Amino acid sequence: FAKFIGTHNFHNYSRNLKAKDPKAKRYIMEFSCKKMDDKWLKFTIKGQSFVYHQIRKIVGCIIQVFMSENEHHSLTTHSSTT
């Protein structure tokens, strides 16, 4: 989850923001996940602010990558460092 920490352009995790839109830049200070039991995970995401649907889409993407056993580098194509 360290790839999400810092200032990044999260336009791919928003509803209508374009890649060059400055509103897509967000700062994430903490991102962690804890297994609660066999069915539940607890995600902790601390940031300065978030774009609409950002957290829902990030968590959905992470779950999809792990459930499909895709390469973890698939997550790097969804946000860019700025």
For the ranges 21-25, 51-55, 59-63, 71-75, which has the lowest average pLDDT?
71-75
78 in Cβ contact with 54 (< 8 Å): no
Token pair of 2 as six digits: 């360290």
C-alpha 32/C-alpha 52 separation (Å) is: 20
Q: CA–CA separation, 76 vs 82, rounded Å?
A: 13
Considering the entire predicted model, what is its pTM? 0.72
Q: Which residues pair with 46 in a beta bridge?
A: 30
Strand locations in the chain (E): 6-9, 25-35, 41-47, 80-81
Give the pLDDT confidence score for residue 77 in this predicted structure: 45
Average pLDDT, integer, range 60-77: 71
Summarised one tens digit per residue, pLDDT across range 12-47 is: 998 889 999 999 999 999 999 999 999 899 999 999
